[in-house]
A and B are shown apart, each in its own frame.
Chain A
């Protein structure tokens, strides 16, 4: 990551700045601090801060400060106990709440399904990189659902997966009994995750293809000349060569599953049937907006934040190690 800036600065050119304002501020400056070549008017010296200030201000006030506020808020009460310190009560209530437990076990399910969600775009990118006939066409078709809103995707799949909808009609035609895709608690979560993967694998595919562009083509050619099969090439050339990309896709896919499935849940299942498709983000929304329990929602938010930190750190660590061994 390009953090910091070690290169020399653009220096204001004193010769070009002989106007009154510049001279005035130069006079005001304390002589000891004034280094040669570092001159320029006060306005010029403050310019970088002026340029960065609006962005920093917005990010700090509307992103970082609310994070602290929320954590703080999670230790206070709701309703009658509004504003009072209640210690860990909200967290204890979360543990007791079957809906939040379902949300957490669904997070566990997402972690288990993560390898699949990474492998699918990874394999497809491999095929496209190896120039399967029609690879350009596939590339643009696969990417296309990634630009659709989860709301649109959810609405479309509501039509397709309705009990009397077309998918079940096809099933009936081939003699399979219809499935209650969104009404069966054992099935619904898998369906929603499947739809999410359908809608987002194109994003990961593009990231993989960008990674492939950095892969040493000579290695691949050498492997092929040696008669390596496709699985061998994937295992010994592509996976080690792309470990950074794989780590990046794994983390972004996990973060995506934790933070961008709300639209699908909202449109497709509303957390049901029997609360089986709850995820933390949906729980937070329900508690905040529908149940009027903002402090409890804040506690759930804090838990979600911790989950995301842990998942991110773990994955980066694991994949870095895996990459290092090869």
Chain B
């Protein structure tokens, strides 16, 4: 047994090195964002002695990061609300109600999982252009919803399957319509799954670049991630401001991660074990 214990401690060495490799790039970026340009050129590694927020506010104001941030917030919030609403409605029906064609409809939803955006990018952009939805908020929201809905329906269906039928039967006897059951029973009972799936979807939408780039091309419609990519050209000689822009885009995600780590990991795990 002691041999096992020793080997465990030996394993801790590469594992903590890897942990360092995981966390250091971000710490480096934070440190750089706090430096002046001169400090950065003189010494890249030294830990900054003062916390300067000048770069952050410069990136926020001058490049239009504020505008990009707002764009992202609008699109992501609307997408997640729609995803949860449509996903839970479909999930409820597919898991708890019996109706003709339900398994075919479920398979139809699942089929969406196997069609990545890259594969349908060209026709989808054309459809969006034909319907005048390209470069609009609703257009990108629809594309996000279509992208993540199969996964959302799938997870909500498997979650609602675990709710005993008696719960719904009892609600029906109390005189609730199907919609009443959805609103009064399924939505509240689905909260843990909705939270998990909602956070995951919010992350996916917030982090997306390709869909945003194709569907929202004009400069003042850029989402935050597309905005970050445009920083590179503008601030190639001003690394601290560049790092600040990157940080602005990362901070919301970092905050979400710090507080909701559990739910994110649960969502990922649920997606895999129920597959």
Please indicate the chain A residues that have their CB under 8 angstroms from the CB of B74 in the complex.
none
Are A55 and B172 in touch, CB under 8 angstroms?
no
Q: Interface 1/0s, chain A 240-269, versus B by CB < 8 A? A: 000001001100100100110011001100
**Nearest CB in chain B to that of A297: its residue:** B122
Are A55 and B109 in touch, CB under 8 angstroms?
yes
On B, residues with C-beta under 8 Å from A are: 4, 7-9, 11-12, 15-16, 18-19, 21-23, 25-26, 28-29, 32, 44-45, 86-87, 89-90, 92-99, 102-103, 105-112, 114-127, 142-143, 145-147, 149-150, 153, 157-158, 161, 165, 168-169, 172-175, 177-179, 181-182, 203, 206-210, 213-214, 225, 228-229, 231-232, 239, 242-243, 246, 249-250, 253, 256-257, 261, 264-265, 268-269, 272-275
Are A280 and B118 in touch, CB under 8 angstroms?
yes
A-B contact pairs, 20 of them (CB 8 A): A1-B274, A5-B98, A9-B99, A10-B96, A10-B165, A10-B172, A16-B172, A47-B177, A59-B149, A73-B123, A147-B253, A151-B225, A155-B246, A159-B28, A159-B242, A165-B44, A210-B272, A263-B209, A301-B119, A304-B118
Of A28-36, A61-69, A110-118, A179-187, the one with at least 4 CB within 8 A of chain B: A61-69
**Nearest CB in chain A to that of B32: its residue:** A159
Are B12 and A308 in touch, CB under 8 angstroms?
no
Say whether A79 faces chain B, with CB atoms less than 8 Å apart: no
Q: Interface 1/0s, chain A 273-313, versus B by CB < 8 A? A: 00000001100110011000011011001101100110010
Please indicate the chain B residues that have their CB under 8 angstroms from the CB of A259 in the complex.
116-118
Name, among B86, B173, B264, the residue most crowded by chain A CB atoms within 10 Å (CB to CB): B86
Are B98 and A8 in touch, CB under 8 angstroms?
yes
Are A59 and B97 in touch, CB under 8 angstroms?
no
How many Å lie between the Cα of A51 and that of B181 in the bound state? 12
Are A48 and B157 in touch, CB under 8 angstroms?
no
How many Å lie between the Cα of A149 and that of B8 in the bound state? 33
Say whether A130 faces chain B, with CB atoms less than 8 Å apart: yes
Please indicate the chain B residues that have their CB under 8 angstroms from the CB of A207 in the complex.
268-269, 272
Are B109 and A230 in touch, CB under 8 angstroms?
no
| A156-B246 contact given A224-B4, A284-B122, A301-B120, CB 8 Å threshold | yes
Are A7 and B98 in touch, CB under 8 angstroms?
yes
| A211-B118 contact given A2-B161, A127-B15, A159-B29, CB 8 Å threshold | no
Please indicate the chain B residues that have their CB under 8 angstroms from the CB of A171 in the complex.
none
Q: Please tell me which one of the listed residues A45, A211, A288 contacts residue B121 in the complex, with CB atoms under 8 A apart.
A: A288
A-B contact count (CB 8 A): 320
Say whether A323 faces chain B, with CB atoms less than 8 Å apart: no
Q: Please tell me which one of the listed residues B19, B158, B173, B253 contacts residue A138 in the complex, with CB atoms under 8 A apart.
A: B19
CB distance from A302 to the nearest CB of B (A): 8
Are B25 and A157 in touch, CB under 8 angstroms?
yes
How many Å lie between the Cα of A55 and that of B175 in the bound state? 27
| A267-B178 contact given A70-B123, A206-B269, CB 8 Å threshold | no
Which positions 13-36 of chain A face chain B at CB distance < 8 Å? 13, 16
Say whether A215 faces chain B, with CB atoms less than 8 Å apart: no
Say whether A142 faces chain B, with CB atoms less than 8 Å apart: yes
Name, among A44, A130, A262, A309, the residue most crowded by chain B CB atoms within 10 Å (CB to CB): A262
Say whether A166 faces chain B, with CB atoms less than 8 Å apart: yes
Please indicate the chain B residues that have their CB under 8 angstroms from the CB of A148 in the complex.
207, 250, 253
Are B12 and A134 in touch, CB under 8 angstroms?
yes
**Nearest CB in chain A to that of B107: its residue:** A3
**Nearest CB in chain A to that of B45: its residue:** A166
Please indicate the chain B residues that have their CB under 8 angstroms from the CB of A152 in the complex.
207, 225, 228, 246, 249-250, 253
Say whether A105 faces chain B, with CB atoms less than 8 Å apart: no
> What 9 A-B pairs have minimum CB-CB distances, sorted nearest first?
A9-B98, A149-B207, A62-B146, A210-B269, A47-B178, A66-B120, A55-B90, A51-B93, A4-B103
